[in-house]
Amino acid sequence: MNNRGFTLIELVISLFILVAVIIGVYTAFATLVSLGSGIKDRFIAAYLAQEGMEVIRNIRDYNWVKYQNDLTVGWLDGLAPGLCETGCQLDYTTGTGIDGEYAIHPYSEQSHLNLNSNGLYTYLSGIETKFRRKITVTPILEGSETDAHIARVVTEILWNDGRYGELKFETEEYLYNWY
């Protein structure tokens, strides 16, 4: 007898294999989408941390250039000691300089970075993002020195991704008063 059709058992087995393959592909796709979003957030956090370091360097350099002949102004004026030792928030729109040209604010967990229409992250305007930036500047005194020649700068980018909770990307760098 020559039957050209499928038996019921063959049909059930082929449906089972098809459903298993579809579920596997869907699970893999959902995982890739989730991981892709997490990787994007980490890239943004890395660039925001790097930008925070650059802003601190710009303020230090501005202090050197503008006040090179004024011995009462230090290379860390406006940053430490004081405001940034406990954490501060600033961006490129805050400007540079210690004579009121910039607005460095104490760090606040409620203050998120905004993405403005130019694609820049700022505290002034734009659409609020999930990212917060905390910059800490700590002068390092060596021995009996009263003026630090080294400062430890830590930039923390914090965000809540909704899946893993609070996440943090942190960078650390040492700045030197080489002027």
Q: How far, in Å, CA of 75 to CA of 148, rounded?
A: 9
Residue ranges covered by each domain of the chain:
8-176
CB-CB contact of 175 with 151 (8 Å): yes
pLDDT tens digits for range 29-61: 888 877 777 888 999 999 999 999 998 888 888
Q: What is the pTM of this model?
A: 0.74
Q: How confident is the model at residue 103 (pLDDT cuts 50, 70, 90)?
A: low
Percent of all residues in the chain with a pLDDT value above 70, rounded to a whole number? 85
Tokens coding 38: 């997490």
Contacts of 117 (CB under 8 A, 6+ apart): 126
- Indicate if the pLDDT at residue 1 is higher than 60: no
- What Å distances lie between residue 66 and 54, 56, 90, 94, 175, CA to CA? 18, 15, 20, 17, 18
Tokens coding 96: 């540079």
Q: How far, in Å, CA of 168 to CA of 133, rounded?
A: 10
